[in-house]
A = this chain, B = another copy of it.
Amino acid sequence: MSKPKVLVCNDDGINAPGIQALATALKKHFEVTVVAPDKQMSAVGHAITIHSPLRVSEYKIDGEFFGYAVNGTPADCVKLALRSIMKENQPDLIISGINHGGNTSTSIIYSGTVSAATEATFLGIPAIAISLATYGVPDFSLAADYAVRLGLMVLEKGIPGGLLLNVNIPPVPKEEIKGVKVTRMGNSIWDDDFDHRKDPHDNTYYWLTGKLIIVDDADDQDEIAVSQNFISITPIQFDLTAYKFLDELQKWELPQ
């Protein structure tokens, strides 16, 4: 029996250890195709490249072909993979990651990792985004193993069109993991600040800084679950309609 086909993407770039750990772990059970940005693309959100051409090069590790590097965003990579590189050979599943750093609460909105998975859902292909919730020195082995097992389950069970699973792994050894929680997207927000500086020509410039503020600490949220050492899985959709407010808005006497 032929192995199921998986497309692997990320936003940290094709040379990142996270995507390499993921692709390597998947090879036992999947036919793996890697299409990823040729450089770091964190916080690009769902950007796509429409005003400049895209180029694809073969990326090798120790002289061996690893995957396709694209001079674009994560969403570009998935579009190019599905519409060109894998046109005659569509994947059964897309896994994006393993991101170095969590993608929980409002961070999801800025996430290139999640955007790659979202792009796949537009075409009805099941997708998983997976992140290791640390900015410290990462060990991707647990996350890579989890991605393989969850990927196999998603293929077995199926997920509805328009959805993806957003997975966050706590940065602790396996024996410290408390379990797996199905969560909702938290509503922690970034309390942004800007560091004002002067350049050598006395012009002001700004660096974005900030910290995450926990608005609500209910433990069914991704951010909270991960901080308690649970693996967090949130189903995410791309229909952004605020259905609860539709009726209320209908009652407004809107300007004509």
How big is the A interface, by class?
35 or more
Instruction: Give the shortest distance, in Å, between A117 (CB) and chain B (any CB).
Output: 11
- A214 adjacent to chain B (CB < 8 Å): no
Whether B53 contacts A43 by the Cβ 8 Å rule is: no
User: Of the candidates B47, B118, B123, B187, which one forms a contact with A44 in the assembled complex, judged by CB atoms under 8 Å apart?
Assistant: B47
For this chain, the copies found in one complex come to 2
Whether A49 contacts B110 by the Cβ 8 Å rule is: no
Instruction: Give the shortest distance, in Å, between A247 (CB) and chain B (any CB).
Output: 9
- A159 adjacent to chain B (CB < 8 Å): yes
In the docked arrangement, what's the CA distance between A162 and B252, Å?
19
A contacts with B: majority SS: mixed
Whether B254 contacts A150 by the Cβ 8 Å rule is: yes
- A2 adjacent to chain B (CB < 8 Å): no
In the docked arrangement, what's the CA distance between A159 and B157, Å?
39
Whether A192 contacts B242 by the Cβ 8 Å rule is: no
10 contacts between A and B (CB under 8 A): A48-B208, A50-B208, A80-B206, A84-B206, A109-B118, A109-B238, A122-B190, A150-B255, A157-B252, A237-B245
Query: Given contacts A46-B110, A184-B243, could you give 9 more A-B pairs where the C-beta distance is less than 8 Å?
Result: A43-B48, A44-B44, A146-B255, A153-B254, A165-B249, A182-B254, A184-B241, A185-B239, A236-B241
Query: Which residues does A use to contact B, with CB under 8 Å?
Result: 40, 42-51, 53-56, 75-76, 79-80, 82-84, 106, 108-110, 115, 118, 122-123, 146, 149-150, 153, 157, 159-160, 162-163, 165, 179-180, 182, 184-185, 187, 189-190, 192-194, 196-197, 203-208, 233-243, 245-246, 249-250, 252, 254-256
